[in-house]
Structure 1
Amino acid sequence: MFKLIPALLAAALAASLSPTAHAAETTRDGGQVKNVVLVHGAFADGAGWRPVYDDLTARGYRVSIVQNPLTSLADDVAATTRVLDRQDGPAILVGHSWGGTVITEAGIHDKVAGLVYVSALAPDAGETTAQQYEGFAATPEFVIETGRDGYGFINPAKFKAGFAGDTTDADAAFLRDSQVPINMSVFGTTLTNAAWRTKPSWAVIATEDKAFDQAMLIHMAERINARITKVSASHAVFMTQPKVVADTIDRAAKDAAGQAR
């Protein structure tokens, strides 16, 4: 019998170090989810999340930022999954704009405790991102120019009005000149998963967002049964209203932990 003790101890130690056990322990002992993964959208990169990152890390969160290649939905989901795999416990997965499609597909990951959509797209499984625009008003200030290779940029002359109306001229110019083009074919890719069907969701809607019809944003958020926060901001809400975004993520982390207990 005594020969079994080392084996039992080893098994118990292995169980305590397993990702599932660690996730449960993190939620239970910390009182809330402590990891946040931020996913940027089209025409941008992860650097725009810096104000939200600074706010959340000051609150004690461990924040990771995905750098999407914007080459295909599969590539962006793979980039997000790599970051989720590195989390040491449950995480809130956050997506801005096109990043909403990415977290919808990638959010079935077992580390994801909740989803936050920041002026973001939220298709269903079996739908494309492009279908979300059907029946809603056009956005004349958000002008995309597509090159021969199929990659799109926002028209430079329209960039501030369409993407970053409430930033300074200097910040808008930097965002314009550092924009990352997206393979426009991604909007026609059919989703396989809809994480919002099984994970609790929250949404921040920027009321001065010129990239989407407001009715479209509200329709998507209501369809996924998200808890909605509205704020006066442009599409660059992650830069201009970081506290509102961080407050929503913080609320999601606390609420998701409560549901897990």
Structure 2
Amino acid sequence: MLVLLPPSEGKAGAARGRPLAWESLSLPALTEARARVLDELVELCSGDPDKAREVLGLSEGQSDEVARNAGLRTAPTAPAGAVYTGVLYDALGLASLSPAAKRRAGRALLVFSGLWGALRIGDRIPAYRCSGGVKLPGLGPLAGHWRGPLGEVLPEVAGAGPVLDLRSAAYAALWRPTGALAERTLTVRVLQERLVNGTPKRSVVSHFNKATKGRLVRDLLEAGPLPRRAGHVAGALRELGHRVEEDPAAPGRLDVVVTEV
């Protein structure tokens, strides 16, 4: 089973550690595409800071992010699972997983990134700022840059098992499964159910869907061997106490219903 995750906008920078070593990153076939993005990003952030903030969608108060990007080649690195922070990763709690669950996480989790394309959680990277929706001056939209390289690499990485796609729209645009792999890919929609004048009403959860998705992944990792078939994923989540519904009109989507977010 492969679990596709978005990164986090906020990232925890390492205080010390060796700089980036390309050869140490997983999915080495992506090295050339990664290097092109990094070169463009460093060049952009080493020049006019106002232009860099505009391209990256940052405010004046985030000028430190521009300076950090300019120093990416020599910045200290840490495992991606420690660099990415935020609601989903807080709920996932990688550091507190059991040893067996950590091993499963290392094999199953794949984090998408505007800079790196896709990473394993053990890959050592510096903290950076470059969302998947960015359009770099020399490369254009990052979704277009990554679609080809990821399309060549990821079908083999996914293998014959199910794919649980928990990415946000900006990162789903970097690569979309096709063919038989698409048929084994499941997405999750989080719905909050509340009583309104005594009648149950449902609404799509936005921000806090990340926490629910983090808990889903954590529970699967801790439960034992991950499901090997797409048709077993919903049942596995139900056994773990999650309320999961399937809609025949929307094959491949799992609706997770929560009453608290």
TM-score by length of 2: 0.29
